[in-house]
Chains A and B, each alone.
Chain A
Amino acid sequence: MSLGTPTSTRISLAHAQLQGCDLCEHRCGANRLAGERGPCKAGPDARVFRHRVECGEEAELVPSHLFYLSGCDLRCAFCIAEANAFDPARGRLLTRDFFSAAVAWGRTQGARNVQWVGGEPTIHIPAILAAMEDLPDLPPIVWKSDFYGTPVAFDLLHEVVAVYVADFKFGNDDCASRIARVPDYVRIVTRNLQRVARESELMIRHLLLPGHFECCFRPIVAWLQQELPLVKFSLRDGYLPRWQASRLPELSVPLPRGEGLRARQYAIERGLNVLD
């Protein structure tokens, strides 16, 4: 599943985005090199607020070396990364030297791949590609994303990323707007899922949210059943009411006991390819 390292041409194209950013669907057009900032607040640099080899991801990915980048284009009230996710000034500067040394360390820990997570890595594509440029023996790249990126962003990642892990969070635009403060969510995410499913290996992840079985989980299952029934579907039932979840009553509590099993059964009965 290993693919090519980014070429200098691709890195130049990505860098051009910093002068008029259209990497995410906010399409703010900010000139990040000139100090302008869009909704994600990110400048030209990317920062890593944590990196470690984890074994709690989907079985086929672990052990996975996760690089957590600060800054995000969404504002999910329940974000488990909390303030780190939303302040792109946090963490250490992502450079080629740092990344190279970190990857070498991860390899000694048995990591099978490098996984870019956030926050949201899409807003940092220019810095990420630059950090990976010409790196020898680059492990397979896993891209864990909210899938709110533009087609341009996915063009830049094409044939660089081996496996996409998509967080399909909400089954309707009202919940997306209320919880993550993001417009036109379902159309954009489903468009990107369709495209990536055609071009690459894709895994769709859904974190079950308390009180959102009918409005979010069921519509997501229905869409997958109709459009991408064979895609790997990872159901996560470890929701914790963290960050600003308390401002939304239904998100202020853990997932009811048994909900995970119920959801899993529901998805399996509808023929989805549910991962363990």
Chain B
Amino acid sequence: MFSTEFGQHVTGDDLTNNQLTDDETAMTEISFLPDGRICLFGASREIIELLWTLNLGDRALLARHLSIQAAATQSVAIQSAATRVDAMEQNAMEQNAMEQNAMEQNESQVPT
């Protein structure tokens, strides 16, 4: 319907399944430029931490490292809070069950 000047459009294969999403969830593309610079695309936590150990002195890297550390702390805090809530719920359920048993026992001792 529409004429387009784009012309560079790539038709591509019929990739309507998972072929392009097999598992890129932990993939980082790393390019080394001729002058020694390193370019990252899709940097994972592991790569940031690895670069951090190399002590590159990059301010942007420092900021990202601190940021993912903060997120990890937050995640642990949320997890431990969730564990505490789970434990409290479990205790409450056990308490309820004990009370219920006690009530049932008392009822069964009521003389008819």
Q: Which residues of A contact B (CB under 8 A)?
A: 28, 30, 36-39, 41, 47-56, 59-60, 62-63, 66, 75, 77, 80, 83-84, 86-87, 89-93, 105, 109-110, 112, 181, 238, 240, 244, 254, 257, 276
Contact = CB atoms under 8 A, between A and B. Distances in A.
B26 to A, nearest CB: 7
A170 to B, nearest CB: 17
Contacts, number: 123
A55 B27 contact: no
Contact of B44 (A37, A52, A254): A52
Query: Does more than half of chain A's interface fall in helix, strand or loop, or is it mixed?
Result: loop
Interface of B: 1-2, 4-6, 8-12, 14-18, 20-21, 24-28, 31, 33-35, 37, 39-45, 47-48, 59-60, 62-64, 66-68, 71-72, 74-75
Contacts of B45: 53, 55, 63, 109-110
B72 A54 contact: no
Nearest to A243: B8
A54 B2 contact: no
A90 B15 CA distance: 5
Contacts of A62: 64, 67-68, 71
29 contacts: A30-B1, A36-B1, A38-B2, A39-B2, A47-B16, A51-B25, A52-B25, A52-B27, A54-B43, A55-B43, A55-B44, A55-B47, A56-B42, A59-B63, A59-B66, A63-B45, A63-B71, A80-B41, A87-B11, A87-B12, A90-B12, A92-B17, A93-B16, A110-B71, A110-B74, A181-B5, A181-B6, A254-B37, A257-B37
Given A59-B66, A254-B33, A52 B42 contact: yes
Contact of A84 (B4, B17, B20, B75): B20
A238 B26 CA distance: 20
A51 B63 CA distance: 23
A9 B47 CA distance: 43
